[in-house]
Amino acid sequence: MQIWPGQSYPLGATFDGVGTNFALFSEVAEAVELCLIDADGSETRVPITEVDAHVWHVYLPAVQPGQRYGFRVHGPYDPASGHRCDPSKLLLDPYAKAIEGMATNHPSLYSYDFADPAQRNEEDSAEHTMHSVVVSPFFDWGNDHPPAHEYHDTIIYEAHVKGLTMTHPGIDESIRGTYVAMGHPVIIEHLKSLGVTAVELMPVHQFVQDGHLQEKGLRNYWGYNTIGFFAPHNEYSYAGQVGQQVQEFKQMVKNLHEAGIEVILDVVYNHTAEGNQMGPTLCFRGIDNASYYRLVEDDKEHYYDTTGTGNSLLMRTPHVLQLIMDSLRYWVTEMHVDGFRFDLASTLARELHEVDRLSAFFDIIQQDPIISQVKLIAEPWDLGEGGYQVGGFPPLWSEWNGRYRDAVRDFHRAEPGMLAEFSSRLAGSSDLYHHSGRTPIASINFVTAHDGFTLRDLVSYNERHNEANLEGGNDGESHNRSWNSGAEGPTDDEAINALRLRRAKNFMATLLLSQGVPMILHGDEMGRTQGGNNNSYCQDSEIAWMHWELDEDQQEMLDFTRQLIALRKAHPIFRRRRFLQGVVRDGAVSELPDVAWMRADGQLMQDADWNDGLNKCLTVFLNGSAIPEPNARGERVIDDSALLVFNGSGNGVDFTLPPAEYGEEWTVVTGTGDVLAIGERIPAGATITRPEFSILILGRKHTEPSAPVPGAEAPADSIACAVDRPARARAEHATAVDGAAPEPGRA
């Protein structure tokens, strides 16, 4: 075998069309061996003798794509000093582009003896661990290009590759649960017919099956246990061939892009699958433990953990920052993804102890010409002190808005004193984001996500029912802000089932008509249930998978969701680029404010009304003629106006429509619990009775001002007819959204 010195950059295994360069960072290593693994498991060890700036490197002209490999790192094993080198453990390449196999829960993976942890365990791990794979970087992308949807036009669909596709009758059983299935025409057609613009895939970086779950016969379904930050998870591959998951992932992205759907990855850079000091040695721990992980300052045998998983990556180490940035850049440039959602992102901001929004991680992302241009979404909390940082991230970022979730859940279960908070969330949460110069797109609005109840379970259960997780029902969130609508779980009571469907529609309508960026949990549009399990992280089973055979109520929920998405996409007033102000806007063609908040009697809300804890009713006027700035094409945006009528109480309430100055006549667009027909016209000042827990959406077509506005662009659709026209036709008429001034409004 020819062995050449190679190059110290790039890190990882890089095939150049002839041979492969290998480069590994380790500051603590005293010697490093590259281990080439044959098909029969035999191992050829190649000593790496070249090292520059702590990067060990070698070039092998004969090594081609498909070659399995790993490293053995010789150096100090001194846990008290933070060092855990162990050459008896075959280690993954931190930069591996593909990984084969799955680690078993075998004692050889651990550097200590189970019977006596103070004793070393030097049993070789090669037969029981995973192997890195050399991959070819070449792929025919054709004319693939990012859909590049503007943020304010974005509708996110949180999905699980396996859970979404595992039971679809239109997909052959042999490919269900894979990247091939995710890019299948029937899945893409569902997403297109729904109208979403982006899928946010739960973790697809290579992850590890937890030992304690394997012992119980369970599996890590969610995937928040990453070990390979460059490698697509191999269990989602259809072909089962070495390294094939890379090609299949790229084809999935290409198919989704062709349909105009962006791909956002849920990424876990805050910790790794190696856990705490009692965890296995798979990769980083054996390469350079003290450089990769945060250790307790005066007790380096233990890990400083703000994630609840046993360890946290050390974000002030240049090589950890480089690892993350190289990974992000790789997924954008080589895998063509369109953005990232960062799990427990507050941990990434911790350089020492406190959360620092100006930490090095945010600085380097801000200046990066590639990563700074894709969608960046933070889960703005972790388990450490000061970790809840909703509203605290830099202007480049959007955030999962946990306060939106909580306020909307509480309002729609008739909790007292929620009206002001609910209104602020409906209007885009300017109180959280305006102070840092951000706009409504900073708020990723969601009512449900993978972590917690599904939407159907939110209206069907008061308590979690997690017995199948085999943790005594003690895992998962106990304070869900849910209400079972009158009975716990499934029931034959038609009135309760009707109320549940109505309330689920209320949540969906609120989500899709709020300012900000909506995110729908996959299956919520079809009434998916997990039987009350609000922590399905270990349920790779029928409990968590999506089911495609719909009953009448589920079909009605799907149709309603499609209508609301089409309404949002057709009308800029529901997806504004700037915060509402509640005043008459300079430059607008209307003498009315851009938004008005009204009581049930049709009069404007006063301070006493906002402070009335028993007030659970609200009418919101959205003025389509009060968008003062032009769209991206330089055209004045003029939209229809809308009234959103919310009865969040458990009683029927008489609502009086606002006086004629807001519109002489309104048309029923859609609603929940309705006794009104779609298309019915209601005059200004009329009184209508709205059932308990209901929403009504009314529209008023824009009327031209007495003097035409030069260059004005009026919508081709009126709100009144938007739900009756095909979604694709509506999308063709959607306009860019306003550019109103950034001052925050009353809400």
Decide if 524 is catalytic. no
Kindly give, in sequence order, each residue whose CB lies less than 8 Å from that of residue 280, ignoring residues fewer than 6 positions away.
103, 109, 110, 211, 274
20-35 tens-digit pLDDT: 999 999 999 999 999 9
User: Does the pLDDT at position 727 exceed 50?
Assistant: no
The mean of the pLDDT values for the chain is 91
How would residue 354 be classed by pLDDT, with cut points 50, 70 and 90?
low
User: Does the pLDDT at position 302 exceed 50?
Assistant: yes
User: Is residue 508 packed enough to be buried (19+ CB in 10 Å), middle (13-18) or exposed (0-12)?
Assistant: buried
More confident residue, 634 or 705: 634
**Other beta carbons less than 10 A from residue 239's beta carbon:** 13
How far does Cα 30 stand from its chain's mean position? 41
pTM to 2 decimal places: 0.93
Mean pLDDT check: name the lowest of 61-65, 303-307, 461-465. 303-307
How would residue 716 be classed by pLDDT, with cut points 50, 70 and 90?
very low
Structure confidence at residue 719 (pLDDT): 66
Structure confidence at residue 717 (pLDDT): 52
Q: How many residues does the chain have?
A: 747
SS3 443: strand
8 A C-beta contact, residue 553 and residue 535: no
Mean pLDDT of 227-252: 94
Mean pLDDT check: name the lowest of 472-486, 531-545, 564-578, 624-638. 624-638
Structure confidence at residue 590 (pLDDT): 80
User: Does the pLDDT at position 349 exceed 90?
Assistant: no
Cα gap 571→722, rounded to integer Å: 9
User: Does the pLDDT at position 288 exceed 50?
Assistant: yes
How would residue 596 be classed by pLDDT, with cut points 50, 70 and 90?
very high
Q: What angle do CA 545, 547, 551 make, to 5 degrees?
A: 150
Decide if 38 is catalytic. no
How would residue 323 be classed by pLDDT, with cut points 50, 70 and 90?
very high
How would residue 741 be classed by pLDDT, with cut points 50, 70 and 90?
very low
Residue ranges and CATH numbers for the domains of the chain are: 581-700 (2.60.40.1180)
Structure confidence at residue 476 (pLDDT): 94
Structure confidence at residue 662 (pLDDT): 95
Cα gap 528→508, rounded to integer Å: 14
User: Is residue 63 packed enough to be buried (19+ CB in 10 Å), middle (13-18) or exposed (0-12)?
Assistant: buried
Mean pLDDT check: name the lowest of 240-249, 338-347, 534-543, 707-716. 707-716
How would residue 708 be classed by pLDDT, with cut points 50, 70 and 90?
very low
User: Does the pLDDT at position 276 exceed 70?
Assistant: yes
Q: Which two tokens stand for residue 503?
A: 């309330």
Give me the catalytic one of 153, 158, 266, 379.
Answer: 379
Cα gap 519→155, rounded to integer Å: 6
Q: Which two tokens stand for residue 553?
A: 């109520």
Mean pLDDT check: name the lowest of 146-160, 180-194, 560-574, 693-707. 693-707
Give me the catalytic one of 343, 399, 609, 639.
Answer: 343
User: Does the pLDDT at position 14 exceed 50?
Assistant: yes
